[in-house]
Structure 1
């Protein structure tokens, strides 16, 4: 089954044209894990055996932070927390998530540099795909008074 977790990034070029280049970028993700990690058939790297989606996601998060640091990207996890209940429902009635994550980057370009790195694509990203059932990802910058 294909989920939005496999394609959540959309068009990075189009996004880079709408996200202010000079501002720090915060990635806000709301995520729902698969009960059991399911790696893409094309992935031949090391897999977490008998792992849950949550465990595969932790491997992904740790790999992402490690690779970003190796690439010189200064990031900080602002918040990672459990999502308990939806207080306001809309067109996605019944939608629910397991965790919410906020990660701050110096810019969207810095974030994008990790996503386009070959080692990330080949060795780290498959853990994300194996872990997530659903994801909502928002590009966020600080609101100004003007």
Structure 2
């Protein structure tokens, strides 16, 4: 794979804010490939899942994320979670494959962005996502009413 997104770069949130409507429902579409074993950065001081599979670390992340979003009063729902089998139309980049496809709906882009900027999320929750994922793609999606 040319780019493994090992650091899971979130991109420029301000640039995204300029093109994504802040006040309409927002769906995040993720393609994910898990690490064989969760690996945490040396500076993360919270509870680690040891040699657990990356998938288990991601489940921990997902549960903590949903709980934190609820604590923040956000309306978040998992729309779809499925196993990715194979690409059938496009030829994948060399070695590219995905384990899971996930669609998560938020009340708005602003709600999603508020989680990314939350101190507790960044300190206690996000490290499980980074520990879990070998490769990751995330797409910002909003509904088209004029198609």
TM-score computed with the length of structure 1 as normaliser: 0.93
Please state how far the C-alpha of 1:90 moved relative to its aligned partner.
4.0
Q: 2:39 maps to which residue?
A: 38
CA deviation string 1:69-88 (max 9, x = no partner): 00011100001111011112
Please state how far the C-alpha of 1:22 moved relative to its aligned partner.
2.6
C-alpha contact (below 8 Å) 1:8/1:135 kept by paired residues:
no
Q: 2:117 maps to which residue?
A: 116
Task: Write the distance in 1 (CA, Å) between the matches of 2:103 and 2:94.
Answer: 23
Please state how far the C-alpha of 1:142 moved relative to its aligned partner.
0.6
Task: Write the distance in 2 (CA, Å) between the matches of 1:121 and 1:22.
Answer: 24
Task: Write the distance in 1 (CA, Å) between the matches of 2:115 and 2:6.
Answer: 17
Please state how far the C-alpha of 1:55 moved relative to its aligned partner.
0.2
Q: 1:11 maps to which residue?
A: 12
- SS of corresponding position for 1:43: coil
CA deviation string 1:112-144 (max 9, x = no partner): 111111110000000000000001100000112
How many residues in Structure 1 have an aligned counterpart in Structure 2?
A: 145
Task: Write the distance in 2 (CA, Å) between the matches of 1:65 and 1:21.
Answer: 20
C-alpha contact (below 8 Å) 1:8/1:137 kept by paired residues:
no
Please state how far the C-alpha of 1:4 moved relative to its aligned partner.
1.2
TM-score computed with the length of structure 2 as normaliser: 0.93
**Superposition CA RMSD, Å:** 1.6
